[in-house]
Structure 1
Amino acid sequence: MDWSAIGKRIRCQREYMGLTREQFAEQIEVTPKFCSDIETGAKGMSVPTLCRIARTLRLSTDYILYGRRGQEDPEPVMRVLETCSAQERTYAEQLLKTFVAAMNMKDNEKAPL
């Protein structure tokens, strides 16, 4: 096991989600120090802790352990939306609908008659 690479993947996703180490540690039920040890690769983790990390970070355990993206990993847009509040998701949905409608109009203008 490459604990350093595992820790880096965990830290990158935690930071991407805007979680402090303290917030993350609380959510996965470990101390901030142990969380730091995991992220630096100084220590490994138990299977239950790995599962809590995967659930909290919305990543597959396969990705955390091996860096392989599987079918259960969310798409990039979904990863962004999952970090938004309900109000932000509603606004993003409206923007996406407007964008898709505009793209459809553009495609229809190019279609031969």
Structure 2
Amino acid sequence: MENYSNKYDLRSIGKRIREEREKFGLSREDFAEIVGLSDYYIGQIERGERQMSLPVLIKMAGLLRLSLDYLIFGENYYSAEHLRESLSDKQKQKADCLEEIVELLKRCSKKELEMIKKLLKVILPYLNKFDSMP
């Protein structure tokens, strides 16, 4: 079995966390609040000065929408094509739609994203009613 202990680097993990946090437009303080840790602790993690527990690692990966293999090793060991092959046709259509929405949202300003979020909160309950109609 391959020895993975030499393949990960706390500084690189911290750098990936910081980069992804910044892509979401989150300050360290805001991210710390979401994760439930102090901003000082998050700073230590991002600088590679501190090793986090597995539950914290999993929580951060989930919040940042990262795979654990990317977060730890800096690369995904399963390609998107490999994962896509395991999806049903309906799941593939949903994934395609979500990818298109994400690309559109990437072009929006923070103010526009806030407005879209508010609109979604208003209209989603009504859309769900239409799905349940015969």
Does the alignment reach a TM-score above 0.5? yes
Matched residue, 1:87: 116
Q: Per the alignment, do residues 66 and 80 of structure 1 end up closer, same or farther by CA in structure 2, a change over 3 Å counting?
A: farther
1:1-113 matched pairs, under 5 angstroms = 1-69=8-76, 70=78, 71=80, 78=102, 81=105, 84-85=113-114, 87=116
For structure 1, which runs of at least 5 residues remain unmatched after alignment? 91-113
Deviations along 1:12-42, one digit per CA (max 9) or x if unpaired, are 0001110000110111111100000000000
Figure out how many residues of one structure are paired with residues of the other and give that number. Answer: 88
DSSP 3-state at the match of 1:81: helix
Which residue does 1:93 correspond to in 2? none
Q: 1:23 to 1:87 in 2, by over 3 A?
A: same
Q: Percent identity?
A: 38
RMSD over equivalenced CA pairs, Å: 2.9
Q: CA deviation at 1:78?
A: 3.1
Gaps of 5+ in 2: 1-7, 84-97, 120-134
